[in-house]
Structure 1
Amino acid sequence: MTTAVVQDYMTTNPHTVSPTDSIETAIKLMEEKQVRGLPVVDEGGKLVGLITEADLIVREAPLEPPVYLTLLGSVIYFESPEKFHHHLKKTLGMQVQDAMTTNPITTTPTTPISEVAQAIVHHHISRLPVLDETGGLVGIITRHDLMQALKL
């Protein structure tokens, strides 16, 4: 029995957007193609991020400034101000690069399905871009694809 690998179940040539595409363009493409996330690639076809429904939903969530305490003229944050700034950028951004997740977890065509399943569960994600040995995007594998692998 051979071990199932990513290339056996991934979607090849996935639909993509560029960092400078509008958020509206990404939403329309996701709706049109009925996908929940899109790889974001630069002009050379290299992966620079991933934009998902979760990234877009964050835009609609109310902004909550970080909780802090002032003590003797110093500010002590109980939450990360960077997290607030990141949420603010996603909320106000107009381009894909403003809302996307940078440095997404990726995989390769020859990675065993079991490792992808472990990554998806461990990192609470739904999809992984698939990169070749040069870092070029060659596909995407999703939870749905993993379900197909389980059928066999």
Structure 2
Amino acid sequence: MNEKKAKDIMTTDVIVAKKGDTISKVANILISGKIGGLPVVDDDNRVVGIISETDIIKKEKKVHSTPFINVLEGIIFLDDFNKMEQDLKRIAAYKVEDLMSKNIVKVYEDDAFDIVANIMISKSINRVPVVDEDNKLKGIICRYDIIKAMYNE
């Protein structure tokens, strides 16, 4: 049985998003950092949500653009293209608070490794914020951290 606690395996240098950040900004952070999601914090560093690539993709699937671009003898109908471009710009302008998951699972610094791992597995989540008793962000644990803790003892 692993004696480690959440604070022993968490990443403490956490990139975060704010509720007012644009989806475009967050998407660029996810892409450049090669990460799947970010905790969303308020001005007091309290966790208020999680924004993930899945949240963004779900919204993009709901875009009301045409399912295909009409091509007739090599001419693209500009109405369809312009509509699609407008929809993509509209999504990029959404704020984090519009798309973030608000019902989040979080763990505490002194939670046992086994509890954290079981929560992540049973709830099928890829990342879990680690908070203190005031709900302030202290770190984050990703599945990678779980595997690392299991095999780097």
Normalising by structure 1, what TM-score? 0.76
Aligned to 1:31: 31
Q: Is the helix fraction higher in 1 or 2?
A: 2
Is 1:133 aligned to residue 133 of structure 2? yes
Take 1:45 and 1:19, find their aligned partners in 2: how far apart are those partners?
12
Structure 1 residues 95 and 11: alpha-carbon distance in aligned structure 2, compared to 1, 3 A threshold: same
Structure 1 residues 115 and 93: alpha-carbon distance in aligned structure 2, compared to 1, 3 A threshold: farther
Question: Which runs of 4 or more aligned residues in structure 1 lie more than 4 Å from their structure 2 counterparts after TM superposition?
Answer: none
Take 1:61 and 1:121, find their aligned partners in 2: how far apart are those partners?
27
- Report which of the two structures shows the higher radius of gyration computed on alpha carbons: 2
Cα offset, 1:2, TM superposition:
6.6
Aligned to 1:48: 48
Percent of aligned pairs with the same residue?
31
Count of aligned residue pairs for this structure pair: 125
Cα offset, 1:53, TM superposition:
1.3
Take 1:105 and 1:150, find their aligned partners in 2: how far apart are those partners?
21
Aligned to 1:13: 13
Take 1:36 and 1:52, find their aligned partners in 2: how far apart are those partners?
6
Normalising by structure 2, what TM-score? 0.75
SS in structure 1 at match of 2:4: coil
Cα offset, 1:93, TM superposition:
7.2
Take 2:121 and 2:10, find their aligned partners in 1: how far apart are those partners?
17
- Asked whether the 8 Å contact 1:30–1:36 carries over to 2, the reply is yes
Output the amino acid matched with 2:60.
Answer: E
Structure with greater contact order relative to length (CA < 8 Å, sep ≥ 6)? 2
Take 1:62 and 1:51, find their aligned partners in 2: how far apart are those partners?
17
Cα offset, 1:60, TM superposition:
2.3
Aligned to 1:68: none
1:119-138 CA-to-partner distances (Å, cap 9, x unmatched) read 11111110100001221101
Structural RMSD (CA): 1.9
Aligned to 2:149: 149
Structure 2: tracts of 5 or more residues without a match: 64-90
1:75-133 CA-to-partner distances (Å, cap 9, x unmatched) read xxxxxxxxxxxxxxxx7970000110003100011111111111111111101000012
Aligned to 1:107: 107
91-100 or 49-58, which moves further after superposition? 91-100
Output the amino acid matched with 1:121.
Answer: I
Aligned to 1:124: 124
